[in-house]
Structure 1
Amino acid sequence: MPDSSPSGLTGFIAATSQLASRFPLTRGGTRRFVLAFGEQMAYIRVQDARNPWRFLRQMEGNPPTRWGTDGFKAGLVDDRNPARHYAAFVFVGFWLPGWMALLLLWLWELAGFMRYRFYWSQADTRSGYVGLWHGRLV
C-alpha cells in the first residue's frame, strides 16, 4: 500500500503544525517545541553536544524525518532535503542572539565550502537566512 502522507513543503508544514500542537503556548512550551523541532527536522540533539564529533556528524546527516523538495522555492534548494538546513537555522535563530546566529550561519557555510571542495551554495545560505529570520520570530 503506497504511503499517502504529504511530502515536500506541504508535509513539512503539516508535521511542524502537528508537532507545535503538542506544546502549550507558553515560554516553556515554545522552548520545548523548538528543541523537538530541531531534533526531528534537523537532527540537532543538544544532549549530544558533549561529544562534538557525534554532534557535528548528526547535524550534517539525515534527520529522522525527510520531506523532499516538492513545493520549496527553487532558490532555497540545493539538496534532496532542504527542510533540514532551514530547520537547523530556525533552531539557531531562536536560541542565539542575532549577531551570533549570523556568525554561526557563515561559519557553517564556510566549513561546507571547504568540505565540498570550494563549492559555495548560495541556496543554502539563503535558506539559512530565512531560517534565522523565522527562528527570531518564534
Structure 2
Amino acid sequence: MTNHQESLRGFPGFLQDVNQHVDRAIAQGMSTRSFVLQIAERYSYIRLADLYRPLRFLRQLSGQPPVCFGASGFRRDLVDDQEPARHYTAFVFVGYWLPTLLATPILWAWEILGFVRYGWQWSQPDIRSGTIGIRHGRCVRKQGP
C-alpha cells in the first residue's frame, strides 16, 4: 500500500478520493463517460480493455481493486467484506450504462453467482449497496460527475 493509499481509509477516504476525481474531471472538461470508466477501474478493477479475455475480466471483478479503502465508516448494513467501495462502484458503473430495469437483474445475477461461489452465503448488504450504486449511476448519467 502506498503512502497515498494509507492516508485514504474507510468511507471518509473513499469520499475524499471520489471528490478529488470529480474536481479533476470538471477542471479538465472530462466527459462523464471517461469519469465513470476511470473510477470503475480505480475502485472496482473494471477494465473494459480486458473484455476480450472474459476469464481475466471476471477474476479482476472479484479481486482487489487498484485502490482499496477498507470498510471503516461505511454503513454497516451495506458491508459484507473489507472492500465495500469496490461493490458499490461496480454498480455505479452498471447503473451508468444500463437503465434500472436491466441493471437490477445484473445485480441479482451477480449475487446469485456469489451465493454459489461462496458456499451458499447470501449477501443482503451487497444487494442494498448495489441498488444504491445503480441509482447513483443513473444520477451520474443524467447530471455528470
User: If the length of structure 2 is used for normalisation, what is the TM-score?
Assistant: 0.88
The structure 1 residue matched to 2:50, chosen from 48, 65, 81, is: 48
What is residue 121 of structure 1 aligned with on the other side? Answer: 123
Q: Are residue 106 (structure 1) and residue 72 (structure 2) matched?
A: no
* Residue 6 of structure 1: how far off its partner (Å): 3.2
Change (3 A) 1:20 1:106: same
The structure 2 residue matched to 1:14, chosen from 16, 24, 40, is: 16
* Residue 24 of structure 1: how far off its partner (Å): 3.4
8 Å CA contact retained: 1:90, 1:132: yes
Q: Pairwise CA RMSD of aligned residues?
A: 1.9
**Identical pairs, percent:** 49
User: If the length of structure 1 is used for normalisation, what is the TM-score?
Assistant: 0.93
Cα offsets for 1:37-67 (capped at 9, x unmatched): 0000000001111111000000000000000
SS at match of 1:87: helix
Unaligned runs of 5+ in 2: 141-145
8 Å CA contact retained: 1:9, 1:67: yes
Say how many residue pairs are matched.
137
Q: Are residue 133 (structure 1) and residue 135 (structure 2) matched?
A: yes
d(CA) in 2 for partners of 1:53 and 1:127?
Answer: 25
- The structure with more helix, counted as a fraction of residues: 2
* Residue 114 of structure 1: how far off its partner (Å): 0.5
The structure 1 residue matched to 2:64, chosen from 62, 65, 69, is: 62
d(CA) in 2 for partners of 1:67 and 1:89?
Answer: 17
The structure 2 residue matched to 1:89, chosen from 88, 91, 98, is: 91
